[in-house]
Amino acid sequence: MDVRSWLSLAADSVRRWEAGHPPYQVHPSLEVSDERFAAAFGALADRMAGNYPYFHPSYAGQMLKPPHPAAAAAYLAAMLVNPNNHALDGGKVTSELEKEAVARLAAMFGLPAHLGHLTSSGTIANLEALWVARELHPGRGVAYSEDAHYTHGRMCGVLGMPGTAVPADAAGRIDVGALDELLAGGRIGTVVATAGTTGLGAIDPVHEVLEVARRHGARVHVDAAYGGFFTILAGQPGRAGLDPRPWRAIAGCDSVVVDPHKHGLQPYGCGAVLFADPSVGRLYAHDSPYTYFTSDELHLGEISLECSRAGAAAAALWLTLELFPLAPDGLGRVLAACREAALDLTGLLAASGRLRLYQPPELDIVSYFPAGGRDSLSAIDEASARLLAAGMADPAGPVFVSTLTVTAGAFARRHPAVAADRDSARILRSVLMKPEALTYAGELFRRLERLATPP
């Protein structure tokens, strides 16, 4: 598995395709000598060396990792052609690849029918789902958990819809009782359930949310930007298997968002939105004087709020899904390793005197905080920040985690003995979204425990 030989295979395939067309001259204005290129590229390579090592298991900070080399090769092969999946004219082949890849995502969630497309991000995918919700329930608001991604509150502002945060319970999941009460007021048209929160990886009980929402005549949108691919592990035997109920319920919801650029091995620029009712496509109806003239077939730009989109993103996802089918023995093996890494780290934290688990992980995000000293929020906040900095400065080589700010109320629901001497505190968070985290979990734990100072 050599990314360089795969990238040259990709570049060669494009050169061969170009050579099948009549020769022409590249305009002198575009010419760059190899020497000038090498000098400028050297400067870029030097700058890029300043990145954190997202590829390495010692990087367990944010949701970052390189794409699979196969995705990179497919992206390059398509990007050198640079199709635009806005219209079939611009993305003749890659639009087909996108429709096939999206159909596979829909099948993964068990949607009986679907209309969907890739987007440039989870943010835009969620925006589209909320926009459709507004068109179908004009004048009514959106409810989401207080632990939902901040984009929902912000996009409600963009769309001019009232957004309401519902309290989360002691596991970081939406409080279904509080949601029921809110919906009884009749002002909410759509509920957002998060299948894998960005902070803690908590899974809202989608099945319960769906039942309550339907009773009150509300839509349900599932934000599975981060967690969506874990649906492959629903009901699977073994340590990595997940309670199937929230995942199976997605098939009965109205829309779902998943980010292939998070757990789908893709480079950035690849989100997806899927609607269960294909007739919502009518809401997008518009006429364009510029495009859509080659056929009566569906142009993806006709069902998308974005115009230009990289056809290369579709090619990369399509090839990845050929190699890693959305099944337990395909991409599921990658996700299971991440989940098992989180469980291993959890087991080690449970026996530690210097670090304490904040709450058990539901997916592959582990939350914890320094312990063995003063049990107050201010001391824990400072010790967390110290550990974050000490990790990055470790002479043995940096180790990267992230901090998560939690409210005093949320902390007290999990650890009532800790003195709430401030409104919020930073705790530590490790995202173990690379399968290599599994063999590194012990080493990561030993390093963190060594670096931790008592609060």
Ligand X SMILES: *Cc1c(COP(=O)(O)O)cnc(C)c1O
| Site for ligand X, rule CB under 6 A | 121-123, 126, 149, 151, 194, 198, 223, 225-226, 259, 271
Q: Which of 147, 60, 150 is nearest to 428 (CA)?
A: 60
- The token pair that represents 418 in the structure block: 């800790």
Closest separation between CB of residue 412 and ligand X, Å? 25
37 Cβ neighbours under 8 A, 6+ residues apart: none
Closest separation between CB of residue 351 and ligand X, Å? 30
The bridge status of strand 188-194 relative to strand 255-258 is unpaired
For the chain, first and last CA: distance in Å? 45
46 Cβ neighbours under 8 A, 6+ residues apart: none
**Toward ligand X, which CB reaches closer, 194 or 384?**
194
**Toward ligand X, which CB reaches closer, 151 or 190?**
151
Closest separation between CB of residue 156 and ligand X, Å? 14
Query: Tokens 């589209």, residue?
Result: 128
Q: Which of 247, 186, 249 is nearest to 215 (CA)?
A: 186
**Toward ligand X, which CB reaches closer, 172 or 271?**
271
Closest separation between CB of residue 258 and ligand X, Å? 10
Closest separation between CB of residue 52 and ligand X, Å? 18
Closest separation between CB of residue 150 and ligand X, Å? 9
**Toward ligand X, which CB reaches closer, 85 or 266?**
266
**Toward ligand X, which CB reaches closer, 202 or 331?**
202
Q: What φ, ψ does residue 23 adopt, rounded to 5°?
A: -65, 150
State how far the alpha carbon of 407 is from the alpha carbons of 25, 35, 131, in Å: 63, 55, 30
Question: What is the three-class DSSP state of 224?
Answer: strand
Burial class of 167 by CB neighbour count within 10 A (0 to 12, 13 to 18, 19+): middle
**Toward ligand X, which CB reaches closer, 363 or 452?**
363
Please give the order of strands across the beta sheet that includes 255-258.
115-119, 271-275, 255-258, 219-224, 188-194, 141-145, 163-166
Residue nearest to ligand X (CB): 122
d(CA 23, CA 264) in angstroms, rounded, equals 39
Closest separation between CB of residue 219 and ligand X, Å? 17
Q: Are 415 and 370 in contact (CB under 8 A)?
A: no
Closest separation between CB of residue 448 and ligand X, Å? 24
**Toward ligand X, which CB reaches closer, 134 or 356?**
134
**Toward ligand X, which CB reaches closer, 10 or 257?**
257
**Toward ligand X, which CB reaches closer, 149 or 299?**
149
Closest separation between CB of residue 317 and ligand X, Å? 14
In one-letter notation, the amino acid at residue 380 is: I
DSSP 240: T
**CB atoms near residue 30 (< 10 Å):** 6
Q: Which of 344, 388, 341, 334 is nearest to 364 (CA)?
A: 341
